[in-house]
Amino acid sequence: MLQLSVLREQTDLVLAGLNKKNYKNATQEVQTILDLDSQRRGLQARHDEEQARANQLAREIGTLMKSGRKEEAETLKAETAALKLITKNLTEELSEIEKNLQNALVKLPNLPHSSVPEGKTAEDNEIVYQHGNIPELHATALPHWELIKKYDIIDFELGNKITGAGFPVYKKQGARLQRALINFFLDEALKAGYAEVQPPILVNEASGYGTGQLPDKEGQMYHATEDNLYLIPTAEVPITNLYRDEIIASDKLPVKNTGYTPCFRREAGSWGADVRGLNRLHQFDKVEIVCIEEPEKSYAALEEMSQYIQSLLQKLELPYRVLRLCGGDMGFTSALTYDIEVFSAAQNRWLEVSSCSNFETYQANRLNLRYKPGTGKTQLLHTLNGSALALPRIVAALLENNQTEDGITLPAILHAYCGFDKITL
């Protein structure tokens, strides 16, 4: 959530950032917030004045009563009663305005970093790095949705029978490959200094609010209505919320966590060629990395996280590229996002496998997540997270890029984790 002080003091900067994100009605909504804030501060000043007057009268009444001047005290008591009614009404007005102000604030997205390119769609994203050679496949190569049938390792029909579309069943070597990748990603994260946590996969409203999924995105999450809990769309939500309403000591920063969870997303989109097979699911496995850092160090941390994610893809021997997302293609809460994509040879297209983002103070403001630098006042921290990695498209690329006429050869780093080096009939 954007800070009111930034909206008041840097209004032009806020409007420029919202326009870069192609946010509609930016001028109108910002002005509404500023008007509500002005009303709130005016009412608060009146409330404080009336309360101060009431406190002063209370002291005077005590003095009069002690000196036996009861008639004068009774006159002041009547005035005090009137002031109490005024302050009560002002408190109610303040509460309503603060509610409206909060509702308006949470609708504004985060502002983009200065390095974010202009643009409206994915076509305007900036390629900042590309690594590896595009594999050349044999003439009878298959896309992964055919390979999984051929080798009987993932079954969409069984998943549809049990649950519905977008919930595959992993079998035999496919199940072992899933477990191998999860363990590999977690082991690598531990080596890189991330502390492992195993969070709940259901979260409450406060957690969804803290990381920006709520309000307004309820329809994108599975909702257990009786208990008012949400299935997580990513481990970012519970892991970041571990630190909600915390003041972290400076000598404990940065905070670096990793965790594996299944993830659940209702907005799997239309079912066509681009989202076939493992390309888009309602349930999938992912290992997440989360970092909480001092503001002046957060962009160095973002680069470090991006390099770490790239190192995983290098060890998996997958060609990849790194994109800096343009303003119009960025997430609601992000200030800067790198998307990392692998090349899927049988589909002849790039597949996103990771988003690595710096949210600056946007989430921390909603989370009330702060630190105290030296002897100064508490300040908001910066939060960052990245997929390291999401499994479905990694599996798709591994299967397609490494297929041969007699099996699918796995990268050497996974042999010990899987217990086999090739998927065969």
352 annotated as a binding-site residue: yes
Give the DSSP per-residue string, 316-372. TT--EEEEEPPGGGS-TT-SEEEEEEEEETTTTEEEEEEEEEE-TTHHHHHHT-EEE
In the chain, count H helices and then E strands: 13, 19
354 annotated as a binding-site residue: yes
The bridge status of strand 247-249 relative to strand 370-372 is: parallel
Residue 322 exposed, middle or buried by CB count within 10 Å (0-12, 13-18, 19+): buried
Q: Which residues pair with 263 in a beta bridge?
A: 284
355 annotated as a binding-site residue: yes
146 annotated as a binding-site residue: no
Report angle CA 331, 263, 255 to the nearest 5 degrees. Answer: 70
SS3 202: strand
Measured distance CA(110)–CA(334) in Å, rounded: 6
Cis check: omega of the bond before 112, within 30 degrees of 0: no
Measured distance CA(200)–CA(239) in Å, rounded: 9
What does each C-alpha distance from 177 to 171, 183, 355, 422 come to in angstroms? 9, 10, 22, 10
53 annotated as a binding-site residue: no
SS3 422: strand
Measured distance CA(244)–CA(364) in Å, rounded: 8
267 annotated as a binding-site residue: yes
The dihedral formed by the CA atoms of 154, 156, 162 and 163, expressed in degrees to the nearest 10: 120
Token representation of residue 141: 């190569």
Q: SS3 for 258-270, per residue?
A: EEEEEEECCCCCC
140 annotated as a binding-site residue: no
Q: Which residues make Cβ contacts (< 8 Å) with residue 368, sequence separation at least 6?
A: 244, 245
Nearest to 384 by CA among 300, 280, 298: 298
275 annotated as a binding-site residue: no
Nearest to 357 by CA among 297, 308, 299: 299
Q: Where does 165-264 have alpha helices with state H?
A: 172-191, 205-210, 236-240
342 annotated as a binding-site residue: no
The identity of residue 142, as a single letter, is: L
Report the binding-site residues.
234, 265-267, 288, 352-355, 385
Q: What are the binding residues for ATP?
A: 265-267, 352-355
* Numbered residues of the known binding site for L-serine: 234, 265, 288, 385
